[in-house]
Structure 1
Amino acid sequence: MAQEIAMLHDVARCSACRACMVACKQWHDLPADMSTPFEGQYQSHKELTPTTWNLIQMNERVDSEGKFHWDFFKRQCMHCADPACAKGCPEEAITKLENGAVVIDEDKCVGCGYCTHNCPFSVPKVDREKNKSTKCDLCFDRIAEGMEPACSKTCTADAIRFGTKEEMLKRAEKRVAILKEEGYKDANVYNPQGVGGIHMLYVLPEKPSVYDLPENPQTPDSIDLWKDIVRPIGKIAGAGALVGVLGMAALKGMASKKEEK
């Protein structure tokens, strides 16, 4: 069995250079979002798009003590261990690999958008021109060849690290301990268990809500009902309907032959 891997974004180290965004675009050959309007902010895009899978969110705020903060947060697919997107996909086009990466098979995807609807982080986006869902694939093709993801390889501030999940969790805990010593009493490792844990881990100096993250995201139980019961029944019903249609066609063909005779 493949060893679980993970990427770690240390928000306290991030300088918002956005080299990770450029590296992601280059490796996946993703075009620029030319239609993205300029809104007078430093952040390049308001949200993830079908061709922007990795976004550095930049938030200006003043804390309770009157101190100004720049918050830089790397937004992308979380690669949940219990992925609602994969469980809810009617075409089974989304797969969680043994190492933890959650990947969309473009050949199977029909662009229905169920993955976007089911994802507790609203990450996947549907490309309406291609009718395909898109998102970060954790550079699974690079990992398969012994390389690390393009974004972590490119990070200039060591804010993005890559390795086994065990290693990244240990590194994250050490960083949280340091941040708490520096006065960040709410520093934490973001690895929500409601989705089985994630393979895109974060060291957060503040509570998750400060970075627009859900405190306790969940993979709904209803998704299991859909995956294990409703979808299989639907396939059986669909197959039965097809057999019925073919049967009726065959009967009509036989009837027409009798009339000819």
Structure 2
Amino acid sequence: MLPDPNSLSGPLDPAPEAGWTDAPPRMGFFTDTSVCIGCKACEVACKEWNDVPGSGLDLLGMSYDNTGALTANSWRHVAFVEQPRPAGRPSGRTAEPEFLGMPGAQPPGRAGGAEGRSDFRWLMMSDVCKHCTHAACLDVCPTGSLFRTEFGTVVVQEDICNGCGYCISACPYGVIDQRKGDGRAWKCTLCYDRIGAGQTPACAQACPTESIQYGPLDELRERAAARVATLHERGVPEARLYGHDPDDGVGGDGAFFLLLDEPEVYGLPPDPVVTTRDLPKMWKRAGLAALAMAAAAVAAFVGGSS
């Protein structure tokens, strides 16, 4: 069902809206990029559990990022962004020993071979399907391959997908992709089989720093707000949440993030909007135009025959 343009604000539980009765709490991901170390354990765990084909070795320029983006064969993508350190940020190795919430941890950009360096930092983020509250991919799928689960997540049934590609162009985040030689659409399922059995999604289970956190979405939002407040107190004013607001253009995301810079730096759209928002209005206008044309044709026929 296409969204009502007047209903794209305020909190919404999408599972009951999709017809699920007695639905459990909405589940999702909170990804805290301030503690991501770029280990790619999430990428590996996702591929192993979901039997996702390998992406091959493709070193992209001078980056440690060998996947590049979310694709049909990469349902989790760890981005590496190297940038100058913000002015005023402590540069000493132990200036903020609990900066990341772990005793003895280093501020972002101090890990690896950066000993003695204070002029840059790494921003790392494990990206994933956002499982939007108002999901345009669901609106345009002609076969019912995409469906809303009882946990509020969005899943592709590959055995029903006909490869039309409508969902790919409809996604405001560019998440969904077609697999070469297959033609069907693939993306993160939030490990629907695992969470249905009361287990944690593979990526969150494998994350060694708890950068990827899984649980009831309301609890994750409270935890995320507290984390941002802590970082602000510790002198990180640029920390902000992305995708948590139920009043944004997609009604909020089931997978949201704590970022240390603007969304565009991480390859995320600053103001995502559900792409099917205006379709009901457009169809209404098209219907009225068609009726007007039909009335004019009838009038011309009657006038010409009299």
One-letter amino acid of the counterpart of residue 274, structure 2: T
One-letter amino acid of the counterpart of residue 23, structure 1: A
One-letter amino acid of the counterpart of residue 7, structure 1: F
Structure 1 position 53 matched with structure 2 position 109: no
- Size of the aligned set, in residue pairs, is 230
Contact 2:238 2:261 in 1 (8 A): yes
Equivalent-residue separation in structure 2 for 1:115 and 1:158 (angstroms): 31
Structure 1 residue 35: Cα displacement: 6.4
Greater displacement, 146-155 / 206-215: 206-215
Q: Map of 1:93-132 to 2, 5 A cutoff?
A: 93-132=145-184
Structure 1 residue 201: Cα displacement: 1.5
Greater displacement, 86-95 / 171-180: 86-95
Structure 1 residue 223: Cα displacement: 4.5
1:168 equivalent in structure 2: 220
Q: 1:211 aligns with which of 262, 266, 271?
A: 266
Contact 1:21 1:56 in 2 (8 A): yes
1:4 equivalent in structure 2: 26
Aligned residue for 1:142, secondary structure, equals: helix
Structure 1 residue 64: Cα displacement: 5.2
Aligned residue for 1:195, secondary structure, equals: coil
Structure 1 position 153 matched with structure 2 position 205: yes
Greater displacement, 114-123 / 191-200: 191-200
Equivalent-residue separation in structure 2 for 1:24 and 1:226 (angstroms): 39
2:4 equivalent in structure 1: none
Aligned residue for 1:163, secondary structure, equals: strand
The alpha-carbon distance between structure 1 residues 38 and 98, as it changes in their structure 2 partners (threshold 3 A), is same
Contact 2:60 2:68 in 1 (8 A): no
Unpaired runs of at least 5, structure 1: 231-261
Q: Deviations over 1:83-127 (max 9, x none)?
A: 111112122211121312110011221112111111110000101
Aligned residue for 2:35, secondary structure, equals: coil
Q: Map of 1:24-39 to 2, 5 A cutoff?
A: 24-34=46-56, 36=58, 38-39=60-61
One-letter amino acid of the counterpart of residue 127, structure 1: R
Aligned residue for 2:56, secondary structure, equals: coil
Structure 1 residue 36: Cα displacement: 3.3
1:201 equivalent in structure 2: 256
Contact 1:187 1:207 in 2 (8 A): no
1:78 equivalent in structure 2: 130
The alpha-carbon distance between structure 1 residues 204 and 112, as it changes in their structure 2 partners (threshold 3 A), is same
Contact 1:84 1:223 in 2 (8 A): no
Q: Which of the pair is proportionally richer in helix?
A: 1
2:144 equivalent in structure 1: 92
Equivalent-residue separation in structure 2 for 1:228 and 1:203 (angstroms): 39
Q: 2:239 aligns with which of 187, 206, 209?
A: 187
Q: TM-score, with normalisation over the residues of structure 1?
A: 0.81
Q: Deviations over 1:9-54 (max 9, x none)?
A: 1000111111111100100111212263553321121222211111
Q: Deviations over 1:149-171 (max 9, x none)?
A: 00001110111111100110011
The alpha-carbon distance between structure 1 residues 149 and 224, as it changes in their structure 2 partners (threshold 3 A), is farther
Greater displacement, 192-201 / 117-126: 192-201
One-letter amino acid of the counterpart of residue 219, structure 1: V
Equivalent-residue separation in structure 2 for 1:210 and 1:95 (angstroms): 31
Equivalent-residue separation in structure 2 for 1:28 and 1:229 (angstroms): 44
Q: Map of 1:203-242 to 2, 5 A cutoff?
A: 203-220=258-275, 221-224=277-280
The alpha-carbon distance between structure 1 residues 224 and 162, as it changes in their structure 2 partners (threshold 3 A), is farther
One-letter amino acid of the counterpart of residue 104, structure 1: V
Q: Deviations over 1:188-240 (max 9, x none)?
A: 2212521111111211122323322222211132345689999xxxxxxxxxx
Q: Deviations over 1:64-89 (max 9, x none)?
A: 53941201011110000111111121
